[in-house]
Amino acid sequence: MGYLKTTKPNTLKRGKAFYASAALPAALAARAALAVLLSAVLFTLACVGEKPLVPGGNIVSVDTPAPSAADGGGASTPEPTPEPTPALYSLVRIENSKLSDGMQVLVNYNHSYAHTSAVEQLVRPVEKSRELLLAKADAALLDEVLTALQAFAEGFYEVTGGDRLLVTSAFRTEQYQRELYDDYVKQHGEEMARIYVADPGSSEHHTGYAVDLSTMSKDGLRIPLIEHEHFDWVNAHCADHGFILRYPVGSEEVTRVAYEPWHFRYLGRTHAAACTALKMVYEEYIEHLKVYTIESGMLRVELSEGGAEVSVAEINALPSSGRLIYFVPASEGDETMLPIPAGCNDYSVSGNNEDGFIVTVSLGGE
C-alpha cells in the first residue's frame, strides 16, 4: 500500500448519496429542536460538574434540585414536588491520549499510527485451518480479527465448494515496512513505491486490523482474489464478517492509494456494515461520522442478512434494537467527557486518530 500523488486537493466527495434510508432527512430536520433541549441539559451538567464521581464508573449523573420553600415566594399553598427529570445520558471520562487508539482509527498518508510496538505484543499467529491458508508462517493479527477471518474463510470455502482464502500479509512492524519499501524501490523505483507501499508508520498493517488476501483453489492453484470467480461474493459479504475492501476501484483521489483488490480492513461488523451501506470509502466515512452527535442525532445501524439499514436516532426517543454510532469531539486539555445514553452499558469507544472519539452503543435485539 502506498500513496498516490494527485494534482487535486484532498477534498472528500460531498454531495453523493450518503443516505441509504428515506427516514434520514426527516430525522435530521428534528435535530435543531433537540439541540436546544440538550444545550439546557448540558448547561445543567456544567453546573453539577463538581459532583462526586460514582466509584469505579467515573459517571456523573444529572439531578434536578428539589425546590426549596424560598422558591415559592411565600405562597401559602405548597406546590407539589415535581418528579426529578431523568438524565438522558451519563458522562464517562476518557484520556485524550486514546485519540490515536482503537478499532476505528483512520491510518493513511496523513494519519500515521502511534501504537505499532504495543500491537506487536498483542497480535497472535494466524492458525492454518481447512478453510484458511498462509503464504508465510509468521502472519499475525489481533484476536477479534482472527476469529472474523476464520468465519469469512469458512463462508468462502462453502460458497466455492472447497477453495481457501490465503493470507499473504497481516501485521507489520515499522522495521518490516521499511524493508518492504526499500525492496520495492530497488525493484520498481521510487515513484512506484510511493503508489504501492506506505511509508513506515503510515500502513494500516501496523494496526493488526488489516490483512491482504489471495486464494488457493481446491486443486492447489493460487488465484489472485480479483481473478477468482467469487470475487464479487467476497466484496458483497466481507462486511458480514466485519471487513471492508479498504482501497476500492475509483477511490484513489480520496485514499491516495491505488486500487488494492486484496487489502481488507477489519472494523467490526457494525462499522463495516454502516460504511458499506453509506457507500463510502473509509476516509469519507470517518469524516461523515462527525455529523452524528448525541445532540444532533446518532447514526442507527440495524444489521440484517443483506447488510444494514441506517437511520438517525434521537437521544430522547431511543429505539430498542440496533446499534448507535456517534462522534464526540475531543475537548481541549488532557481528557474528554463522553456522553453515554442512559441505561446503555454495552458500548465501545475508539479514537478516530484525528480530532475525536467514535462511540458505538449496542441497544440489543440482534
Provide the CA 60 distance to its chain's centre, in angstroms.
26
Residue number with CB closer to Zn ion (212 or 283): 212
Stretch that binds Zn ion, among 96-104, 141-149, 261-269, 292-300 (CB under 5 A): 261-269
- DSSP 8-state assignment for residue 297: B
C-beta of 131 vs 212, nearer to Zn ion? 212
Chain Cα centroid distance, residue 211: 16
Give the bridge partners for 298, in sequence order.
313
Check binding of 263 to Zn ion (CB under 5 A): yes
Q: Which is nearer to Zn ion, 228 or 300 (CB)?
A: 228
Identified catalytic residue from 260, 284, 295, 314: 260
- With contacts defined by CB under 5 A, name the span among 1-9, 35-43, 81-89, 129-137 that binds Zn ion: 1-9
Closest CB 107 distance from Zn ion, rounded Å: 11
Shortest reach from residue 262's CB to Zn ion, in Å:
7
Shortest distance, position 157 Cβ to Zn ion, whole Å: 22
Residue 19 and residue 122: Cα distance in Å, rounded?
A: 37
Q: How far apart are CA 323 and CA 333, in angstroms?
A: 30
94-153 residues near Zn ion, rule: CB under 5 A? none
Q: Which stretch binds Zn ion (CB under 5 A): 27-35, 38-46, 177-185, 262-270?
A: 262-270
Residue nearest to Zn ion (CB): 263
Cell digits of residue 206: 501496523
How many Å apart are CA 149 and CA 131, to the nearest integer? Answer: 10
Give the shortest CB-46-to-Zn ion separation in angstroms: 45
Long-range contact pairs involving 37-42 (C-beta distance under 8 Å, separation at least 24):
37/316, 38/88, 38/294, 38/295, 38/315, 39/295, 41/87, 41/88, 42/295
Q: Which is nearer to Zn ion, 261 or 356 (CB)?
A: 261
- Is 252 a known active-site residue? no
Stretch that binds Zn ion, among 41-49, 190-198, 255-263, 313-321 (CB under 5 A): 255-263
Binding status of residue 171 toward Zn ion by CB under 5 A: no
- How far CA 238 is from CA of 50, 194, 234, 281, 283, in Å, comes to 47, 27, 6, 14, 18
Q: With H, G, I as helix, E, B as strand and everything else as coil, classify residue 71.
A: helix
Residue closer to Zn ion (CB basis): 263 or 271: 263
Site track for Zn ion across 180-219, x = CB under 5 A: --------------------------------x-------
CA nearest neighbour of 165 among 140, 138, 132: 132
The smaller minimum CB distance to Zn ion, of residues 164 and 263, is found at 263
Nearer to Zn ion, 212 or 314 (CB): 212
> What SS3 state is found at 253?
helix
Q: Give which of 234, 255, 231 is closest to 107, Cα–Cα.
A: 255
Q: How far is the CB of 244 from Zn ion (least distance, A)?
A: 13
List, in order, residues 6 or more apart from 281 with CB less than 8 Å away: 246, 247, 248, 251, 254, 255
CB of 247 to Zn ion, least distance (A): 8
Using CA atoms, how far apart are residues 266 and 187, in angstroms rounded to an integer?
30
C-alpha cell belonging to residue 243: 471487513
CB of 174 to Zn ion, least distance (A): 15
With a CB cutoff of 8 Å and minimum separation 6, the contacts of 342 are: 86, 87, 88, 89, 90
- Total binding residues toward Zn ion, as defined by CB under 5 A: 3
Residue 243 interacts with Zn ion (CB under 5 A)?
A: no
Provide the binding-site residues for Zn ion, judged by CB under 5 A.
Answer: 1, 212, 263
Active centre residues (catalytic): 260
